[in-house]
Amino acid sequence: MKALLLIIAVLFSANSFAGVDEAYAAYDNGAYKKAIHLFKKSAEQGVSSAQYGLGVMYDNGKGTVQDYKKAFHWYKKAAEQGVSSAQYNLALMYKNGEGIVQDYKKAFHWHKKAAEQGVSSAQYNLGKMYHVGLGTVQDYKKAIHWYKKAAEQNNADAQNNLGNMYINGEGIVKNYVRAHMWWNIAAALVSSSKCSTACF
């Protein structure tokens, strides 16, 4: 009996993940109605990647009317299962008050979860929150720590802010050479990519 249940569970899981692959393919091809149907089917079965995909569709109004409350609902389910992109998007929703009452402490919590998984935009935002004391106690040393993590992943805004912290001596000894180094790295990155990674 246990073997039969295990086989059923494996087959059920394989079908769920196959549905997610098909949903992402439909999304990539612009078949948003089909994608949302497939994401919803797998999301309701607890598949975290489908929950995230469904959140993105509601967040952006693809294949459905834009609905921040539903986006928040599905991001939260995926975030609670450890999906770093969902944790990051959930943090932004708390920060901006989209689909939920604005809550900087919860935004900080979810940015930290995503940052710890290596999401550079979350690392930058976490550094910014420590820097200005948003959702947490102001802590320049922790701000520097998270800005450095993001800067090492080529986040130009984090690189720029590190330069500012060095020039102002915030949480670190003033160092004009390091300040200019980080500013130059950020400037080179922005000019080569023609964009900034600003997310806050």
Domain containing residue 152: CATH number: 1.25.40.10
Helices and strands, counts by H and E, the chain: 10, 0
Number of domains in the chain: 2
- CA angle, 183 then 92 then 150, to 5°: 30
Nearest Cα residue to 143 out of 117, 111, 175: 111
Query: Do 182 and 166 form a contact (C-beta atoms < 8 A)?
Result: yes
* 185 assigned to some structural domain: yes
User: Which domain, by its residues, includes 182?
Assistant: 118-200
Helices 156-168 and 120-132 pack at an angle, to 10 degrees, of 30
* Local confidence pLDDT in tens for the 200 residues of the chain: 443 333 333 334 444 566 899 999 999 999 999 999 999 999 999 999 999 999 999 999 999 999 999 999 999 999 999 999 999 999 999 999 999 999 999 999 999 999 999 999 999 999 999 999 999 999 999 999 999 999 999 999 999 999 999 999 999 999 999 999 999 999 998 887 654 444 44
The verdict on residue 148 lying in a domain is: yes
Beta carbons of 131 and 143 less than 8 angstroms apart? yes
pTM, rounded to two decimals: 0.84
